[in-house]
Amino acid sequence: MIATPQPRLGSLGGQYRHRLGSFGGLGIALVVWALYAVYFSPTQGWTFFLQLSVNGIILGSIYALIALGYSMVYGILKLLNFAHGDVYMIGSFIGFGILTLFGGALTPVMPVVLLVLIMFVVAMLGSGVLGVAIERFAYRPLRNAPRIAPLISALGVAFFLENSALLLFGAQYRNYDGYDLISYNGIHLGGDAGVFVSYLGVIVISSAVALMVALVCLVRWTRFGKAMRAVSFDREAAAMMGIDPDRVIAKTFFAGSALAGAAGVMFGLLFSQIYYLIGFLAGLKGFTAAVVGGIGSIPGAMLGGLLVGLVESWATGYLNGNVSDLVVFGILIAFMLIRPTGLLGSPALQKV
Amino acid sequence: MAEATPPPADAPLPATAQIGVDSWVSEADERQARHTGLWGYVARGWDRLPPAGKLALVTPAILIPFIPFVSSGNLFNYGIFILIYALLALGLNVVVGFAGLLDLGYVAFFGFGAYTYAFLSGTHSEKGHVYTHHWPAELAIPVAVVVCGVLGVFLGSTSRRLLGDYLAIVTLFFGQAFVVFTNAADPYGITNGSNGLANIDNLRFSFFGHAFTIASVRAYYWFLFGCVIVVLVLLHLLSESRTGRAWKASREDPLAAEMMGMPVNRLKIMAFALGAMIAGLAGTTFAAAQTGAFPQNFSTQVLILIYAVVILGGAGSLTGMLVGALVIIVSNQVLDSTSPPQLQRVLFYLALMVGFAWLFRSSWKKLVTVVVLTIGLGFAVHAVAAEWWPRGIHGPVTSGGFLTGAIKHWVLLPANSGRLADYAYLLAIILAVALTQLKGWWRVAIAPFLFVITVFVWENLLILQPAVTRYVLFGALLIALMATRPQGLFGTARVEIV
Amino acid sequence: MLKRVGAIAAVAAAFAVVVSTSAWGSAKAPARSAAASKSIKCGKVRTIGVAAPLTGPASSIGVQQLHWAQYFVKRWNKAKANKNQQIKIVQGDTQLGVDTAFAVKVAHSFASNSKMLAVVGPAGSQEVVASTSTYKGGGLGWVSGSATRTTLTDGHTDGNRNGFFFRTVPNDSVQAPAVAKYMTGTLKWKRVYIIDDQETYSQGLADGVQKILQAKGVSVTRNSISQQASDFSSVIAKIPANTQGVYIPWQLAPQAQAFGQQLKAAGKSHSALFGSDGLFSPDWKIAGSYDSFFPVNTSDATVQGFVKSHGGDGQYFGAPSYVAAQVDTLAITKACKAGHGKTSRAAVRKVIAKTKLKSSILGFPVSFAKGGDIHSPASFGIYQIQKNGSFKRVG
């Protein structure tokens, strides 16, 4: 029989029984892993484990923001937007452009707080507009085409964006020098030899959380959020109820792409070097996060992002930088085969 | 497509849908599209040709471009790559075109074939392990093909539970996992990491006591040519057979096919396996011809190229694969930093003329108007710049043959074009997108500006980085094809049954 | 029926074609080596190729190499005595750090360029390994100004390129001891963390340094990252807090810069960084870091002329490529004279092997050993990055 999963956007309440199973399994796996890592693995100790976990959470917030964009678009259009990673890359370049415009990381011409705020706002706006443009010109003509067509179009858009960035910006790495801009210092948890969280990391986590909270409020408590949920549930019925699906879809793309732009700026600040290919790998990881959490589900995307960040950090720390990507991909493939709807996705419906 | 009651081609459509001829009515749009103009004439003639005739026509078409390019360097660059990509496209056609499965990890099979052959036919040592195998090709190639087939079965078996998008995801990650596996993971030094496997043997055959080696570029070319012919014939026979028809049925509606007794799951696995084996064959020969296999030879860029070939040619059509390979790979190799700029110019202006003709194919009056306006606008802008901004026209021009003089007098060539060219690029994209939304004489009004700016961007930005330009063009080609003609040049238009 | 017959006929024809490639194959097998001894007319303008990473993350060093090679050719072409023996450069962008396959493509295009007589480059050791068979097949000799992996010239480990490959820099069997000596002698480090970037150049150097340090009783831990990595937080978390130095023999300077910043941000900036010749680039500016680099005689008049004509920017990474271009040019000129206006790539290679320059901008005479290594008396120099980003020699 054919199983066609019908995930729903933003079902933030209900169906706890189904969720309990996934949460339970996840919780047990995490506890077992933590115990093994701290007491039995070759590199033992709570400090190392916690340090890696903190790094993983920081990384995971970025992946969560990207995953949110994927989930929202899939929920509303049933389309995997491969170009999302490249919107993230463009966002980071826009942020870099603003940074350079206002003097650069070492000699900013305005207070750092204001500069960072402007970087975020402009990058989010720019990425949002780019996302809307992509939807309008690459996906809207294909609303009624076979499912394969928008996927290939998405591949084309991704390729186009990557190489346009290469053409316009060149192949050399650009440096945000984020630590020079903000601070090299941070919080030492547990004394000098304990876990170190840089101030930049704290900023990244808090802004990611703020954005996610804003999104949840948008989806849950505004009329637009209700329209978004309606269109993702049944587009034709929503149209009959007086909601314009085209506008709602465009605004959804804007929101998702703006989040990706913010993630791009965060990446630049944290890891400094940006170039035209960062969108590809980050897109894959964000994608994994969306699928693991349950594609189409917003809390799922956040959870998935966190998990992917943690797993990648642990894999790099305990195994090897080489295989950490393989581990992440392996988790994705395992989820797809065992539980395609992810952790928080709705259970699969049968096509009759 | 059987036409039950074929009225004369110019008869008007019936006013109301008639019972019993509804299928004919529903195909009316497509017939209309086919019957108009020169292209319709050609398309109808092509449809009437028997397959052998089609093959006979296409084969010289592959060979003709190479008569002037007889040097081994060009034969390697053009001929061998066209044949390799034709093979790859034929294999992907089985998965995407015949069986309708979206396989985004296809390039991993290409890579497996190449790496298996490279491993079995060379020496390398890494991480303390030394591997020396020098298997003859008649052993190495079948082993590589079979390994790819097994992998295809493995990947295909995941399609049992996954449909459409989810299958695309899994295959995409499989492809990525392959790159990471060969590049970084590299257990026991099998793949030699990011350095790749270099200096591998050429193909050494020994049949019935007579041994020969395929070493020169020409020999590889003919060997690949033979492979393409064999695979072409095989796929043609297959597509006309029960299996082919079953594939097409399961592509259109898997549920109905299952009801009709076709083993849909097994068919999917077969499609994956066959596609993988063809890719493996292409991989072995590619590795031998390049005398090496490197991880980035099997990256997503190659995947997009293969997809561009398949989509342009038309998924499901065998001749389309060959023609698509010809067009895409010639463009790919011409727009390369090692190619002479004259050739790149010729290609660009040819493509521009095709663009003119396609946009205004409905009315030759509009076409002529646009051409005249464009040329006039170019001269006007050049004259204005000569008056008020002399630095704008005396910049460097990439040398290239007979067109250089004409270009110097028609295009703005600022001395320091960097920023201006970037903004012009963005402006060109915006105008191009706007143009698709306009109709009629509005289009005629905007088009000259678009073309002048496009030529400006080409001369000042794109021709300086041809290797990147080609990927931009291929991405745009995919988007445009999907939006306007998803069936490509030779494919058949499909309607998704919801 | 007709279809079947047609199909079978096509298959038979294809099979015949495939089999007939045997005639092509065995007859054409010498075709590749024939290119080496094919006679090329010298004419007034002779062609050499420069293969370097002109774009991509390693472009800062590739562009330096190109500039120095162009500087030599400009000076050569200006001399009155060389009016009828001018040199032309054909560039090949190998995009080191993006994909080794580009180096192979450049090699193919150089080998099939019928006018090309010799090559300067490529820059990276992995590119040399990958493009060996192509260059050898084309019979070209190539002189690299930066590929330092020791096994490139030993004739068996990565392939045999004796008589084809030469380099105007000392190899890592000189660099590794110099680095280790400075670490243990001057810096007196006892705990060192080594990270390589998984490329053959980096691994070779890291292995060499690790062996010597361990023999001297220094405690060494080894790790690796990939050239595509940008998040080093987990690797940095693994570095013990009491590490005195982190040795990073990488090829991509921007990556080293990001690593240094993340190291500092993790609160471990007391561990000093030590790089290698691949990082001798303005893109790496972590003040206080050390770097080993080839010897260059900065008081040489030619070097100072270059610095002046390039706005005070020394671009010293490319200086050995000047010598490489010099070696190529002199060999071509000599071979053309000996062949009375006609020569072949094999002849040029033989002349390169017998090069004897009494003096060079490197500060010592140039001649090549049997495997292609340069006879160099001087050792590698150790530099330290100053606060303004410039490199100052300290050892």
Count Cβ–Cβ pairs < 8 Å, chain A vs chain C.
Answer: 91
In whole numbers, what is the pLDDT of chain C averaged over residues? 82
**B486/A137 CB distance under 8 A:** no
β-pairing verdict for C191-196 and C245-247: parallel
Q: Which of C234, C248, C270, C279 to mutate to test the interface with A (most CBs of A within 10 A)?
A: C234
Does residue B136 sit in helix, strand or coil? coil
Which candidate from A43, A171, A178 shows the least CB-CB separation from C55? A171
- If you average pLDDT over residues A157-185, what whole number do you get? 86
How many CA atoms lie within 13 Å of B242's alpha carbon, on the beta-carbon side?
A: 3
Q: What percent of chain A has pLDDT over 70?
A: 92
Residue-wise pLDDT for A236-284, tens only, equals 899 999 999 999 999 999 999 999 999 999 999 998 888 888 998 888 8
Query: How many Å apart are CA A240 and CA B320, to the nearest integer?
Result: 43
Q: In B314-417, which residue ranges form alpha helices assigned H by DSSP?
A: 318-334, 341-359, 364-388, 403-410
In whole numbers, what is the pLDDT of chain B averaged over residues? 81
Chain B residues within an 8 Å CB radius of C18: 222-223, 226-227
What is residue B53's predicted lDDT score, i.e. its pLDDT?
A: 74
What's the 3-state SS for chain C?
CHHHHHHHHHHHHHHHHHHHHHHHHHHHCCHHHHHHHCCEECCCEEEEEEEECCCCCCHHHHHHHHHHHHHHHHHHHHCHHHCCCEEEEEEEECCCCCCCHHHHHHHHHHHCCCCEEEEECCCCHHHHHHHHHHHHHHCCEEEECCCCCHHHHCCCCCCCCCCCEEECCCCHHHHHHHHHHHHHHHCCCCEEEEEECCCHHHHHHHHHHHHHHHHCCCEEEEEECCCCCCCCHHHHHHCCCCCCEEECCCCCHHHHHHHHHHHHHCCCCCCEEEECHHHCCCCCCCCCCEEEECCCCCCCHHHHHHHHHCCCCCCHHHHHHHHHHHHHHHHHHHHHHHCCCEECHHHHHHHHHCCEECCCCCCCCEEECCCCCECCCCCCEEEEECCCCCEEECC
What is residue B67's predicted lDDT score, i.e. its pLDDT?
A: 53
Query: How many Å apart are CA A156 and CA A139, to the nearest integer?
Result: 11
Query: How many Å apart are CA B204 and CA B135, to the nearest integer?
Result: 8
Distance of CA B203 to the CA centre of its chain: 27
What is residue C32's predicted lDDT score, i.e. its pLDDT?
A: 43
Residue-wise pLDDT for A298-337, tens only, equals 888 999 999 999 999 988 888 877 778 888 888 888 887 7
- pLDDT-based confidence at C24, cuts 50/70/90? very low
**C231/A180 CB distance under 8 A:** no
Please give the full DSSP string across B230-274, using - where no structure is assigned: HHHHHHHHHHHSHHHHHHHHHHH-HHHHHHTT--HHHHHHHHHHH
Nearest to C278 by CA among C254, C310, C303, C246: C254
Nearest to C228 by CA among B419, B464, B183, B468: B183
Q: Where are the domains of chain B?
A: 59-331, 346-464
C90 to chain B, any CB pair closer than 8 A? The answer is no
**B483/A166 CB distance under 8 A:** no
Query: How many Å apart are CA B267 and CA A289, to the nearest integer?
Result: 31
pLDDT at residue C12 tops 50: yes
Query: How many Å apart are CA B316 and CA C305, to the nearest integer?
Result: 64
Query: How many Å apart are CA C321 and CA C65, to the nearest integer?
Result: 6
Residue A140, C-beta contacts closer than 8 angstroms, at least 6 positions apart = A246
Give the strand order in the sheet containing C245-247: C219-224, C191-196, C245-247, C272-275, C290-293, C381-385, C391-393
Query: How many Å apart are CA B231 and CA B247, to the nearest integer?
Result: 18
Sign (positive or negative) of CA dihedral C272, C273, C276, C282: negative
C25 to chain B, any CB pair closer than 8 A? The answer is yes
**C130/B227 CB distance under 8 A:** no
Nearest to B174 by CA among B245, B220, B224, B105: B105
- If you average pLDDT over residues C162-190, what whole number do you get? 88
Query: How many Å apart are CA C234 and CA B129, to the nearest integer?
Result: 28
Does residue A12 sit in helix, strand or coil? coil
Residue C346, phi then psi, degrees to nearest 5: -65, -40
| Cβ C228 vs Cβ C251: under 8 Å | no
C57 to chain A, any CB pair closer than 8 A? The answer is yes
The type of residue at B346 is V
Compute the nearest-CA separation of C101 from chain B (Å). 7
Compute the nearest-CA separation of B180 from chain A (Å). 7
- pLDDT-based confidence at A160, cuts 50/70/90? very high
The residue length of chain C stands at: 395
Chain B residues within an 8 Å CB radius of C100: 194-196, 294, 296
pLDDT at residue A126 tops 60: yes
CATH tag for C40-170+298-364 (out of 3.60.10.10, 3.40.50.700, 3.40.50.2300, 3.30.950.10): 3.40.50.2300
- If you average pLDDT over residues A214-242, what whole number do you get? 90
Query: How many Å apart are CA A246 and CA C323, to the nearest integer?
Result: 65
Compute the nearest-CA separation of A317 from chain C (Å). 5
pLDDT at residue A147 tops 60: yes
Sign (positive or negative) of CA dihedral C186, C192, C193, C196: positive
Cα Rg, chain A, nearest whole Å: 20
What is residue A4's predicted lDDT score, i.e. its pLDDT?
A: 47
How many other C-beta atoms are found inside a 10 Å radius of the C-beta of residue B106?
Answer: 29
The residue length of chain A stands at: 352
Compute the nearest-CA separation of A308 from chain B (Å). 15
| Cβ A258 vs Cβ A122: under 8 Å | no
- pLDDT-based confidence at B66, cuts 50/70/90? low
Q: Which residue of chain C is at minimal alpha-carbon distance from A47?
A: C237
Residue-wise pLDDT for A64-103, tens only, equals 999 999 999 988 888 889 999 999 999 999 999 999 888 8
Compute the nearest-CA separation of B17 from chain C (Å). 38
| Cβ C129 vs Cβ B198: under 8 Å | yes
Residue C246, phi then psi, degrees to nearest 5: -115, 120
Which candidate from A171, A188, A271 shows the least CB-CB separation from C56? A171
Compute the nearest-CA separation of A45 from chain C (Å). 12
C198 to chain A, any CB pair closer than 8 A? The answer is yes
Query: How many Å apart are CA C331 and CA C352, to the nearest integer?
Result: 5
**C230/A278 CB distance under 8 A:** yes
Residue-wise pLDDT for B266-319, tens only, equals 999 999 999 999 999 999 999 988 888 888 788 888 999 999 999 998 888 888
What is residue B363's predicted lDDT score, i.e. its pLDDT?
A: 77
How many other C-beta atoms are found inside a 10 Å radius of the C-beta of residue A195?
Answer: 21
The type of residue at C192 is V
Residue A81, phi then psi, degrees to nearest 5: -90, 90
pLDDT at residue B337 tops 70: no
Tokens of C310: 């390039």
The type of residue at B309 is V
What is residue A204's predicted lDDT score, i.e. its pLDDT?
A: 93
Does residue B54 sit in helix, strand or coil? helix
Compute the nearest-CA separation of C186 from chain A (Å). 29
> Which H/E stretch holds residue B213?
strand B210-214
C241 to chain A, any CB pair closer than 8 A? The answer is yes
What is residue B358's predicted lDDT score, i.e. its pLDDT?
A: 77
Q: Which of B95, B429, B468 to mutate to test the interface with A (most CBs of A within 10 A)?
A: B468
Which candidate from B254, B433, B486 shows the least CB-CB separation from A149? B486
| Cβ B267 vs Cβ B250: under 8 Å | yes
pTM: 0.83
Query: How many Å apart are CA A26 and CA C103, to the nearest integer?
Result: 47
- If you average pLDDT over residues B9-33, what whole number do you get? 65
Which residues of chain C form CATH 3.40.50.2300? 40-170+298-364, 173-293+382-393
Distance of CA B435 to the CA centre of its chain: 26
Which chains contact C through at least 3 pairs of Cβ atoms less than 8 Å apart? A, B
What is residue A304's predicted lDDT score, i.e. its pLDDT?
A: 93
| Cβ B173 vs Cβ A284: under 8 Å | yes
Tokens of A18: 């189904």
Q: Which of B482, B487, B495 to mutate to test the interface with A (most CBs of A within 10 A)?
A: B482
- If you average pLDDT over residues C47-64, what whole number do you get? 84
**A193/C241 CB distance under 8 A:** yes
Q: Which of A106, A273, A274 to mutate to test the interface with C (most CBs of C within 10 A)?
A: A273
What is residue A1's predicted lDDT score, i.e. its pLDDT?
A: 38
- pLDDT-based confidence at C13, cuts 50/70/90? low
Tokens of B422: 């970037």
Which candidate from A198, A278, A281 shows the least CB-CB separation from C265? A198
- If you average pLDDT over residues A109-116, what whole number do you get? 88
Residue-wise pLDDT for B148-186, tens only, equals 999 999 988 877 777 777 888 888 888 888 888 887 767
Which candidate from A3, A159, A323 shows the least CB-CB separation from B474? A159
CATH tag for C173-293+382-393 (out of 3.40.50.2300, 2.60.120.380, 2.70.98.40, 3.40.50.700): 3.40.50.2300
Tokens of C325: 């271009």
Q: What percent of chain C has pLDDT over 90?
A: 17
Which candidate from C25, C106, C134 shows the least CB-CB separation from B212? C25
What is residue A209's predicted lDDT score, i.e. its pLDDT?
A: 94
Lowest mean per-residue pLDDT among A178-192, C218-232, C313-327: A178-192
C258 to chain A, any CB pair closer than 8 A? The answer is yes
Which candidate from C95, C258, C264 shows the least CB-CB separation from A271? C258
pLDDT at residue C369 tops 80: yes
pLDDT at residue C317 tops 60: yes
- If you average pLDDT over residues C184-211, what whole number do you get? 88
Query: How many Å apart are CA B174 and CA B104, to the nearest integer?
Result: 8
Residue B182, phi then psi, degrees to nearest 5: -75, -30
**B196/C130 CB distance under 8 A:** yes
pLDDT at residue C15 tops 60: no
Query: How many Å apart are CA C127 and CA C103, to the nearest integer?
Result: 6
Chain B residues within an 8 Å CB radius of A333: 158, 170, 173-174, 177
pLDDT at residue B144 tops 60: yes
Query: How many Å apart are CA B427 and CA B379, to the nearest integer?
Result: 20
Compute the nearest-CA separation of A93 from chain B (Å). 14
pLDDT at residue B55 tops 80: no
**B476/A280 CB distance under 8 A:** no
- pLDDT-based confidence at B143, cuts 50/70/90? very high
Q: In chain A, which residue ranges form alpha helices assigned H by DSSP?
A: 16-35, 46-77, 84-101, 112-134, 148-169, 178-181, 199-221, 223-233, 235-240, 245-271, 278-293, 298-314, 321-338
What is residue A145's predicted lDDT score, i.e. its pLDDT?
A: 82
Q: In A36-111, which residue ranges form alpha helices assigned H by DSSP?
A: 46-77, 84-101
Does residue A318 sit in helix, strand or coil? helix
If you ran DSSP here, which 8-state letter would residue A189 be given? E
Domains of chain A from N-terminus onward: 46-343 (1.10.3470)
Compute the nearest-CA separation of C237 from chain B (Å). 21
Which candidate from A177, A270, A317 shows the least CB-CB separation from C234? A317
- If you average pLDDT over residues C76-91, what whole number do you get? 87
Residue-wise pLDDT for B227-244, tens only, equals 988 998 899 889 889 999
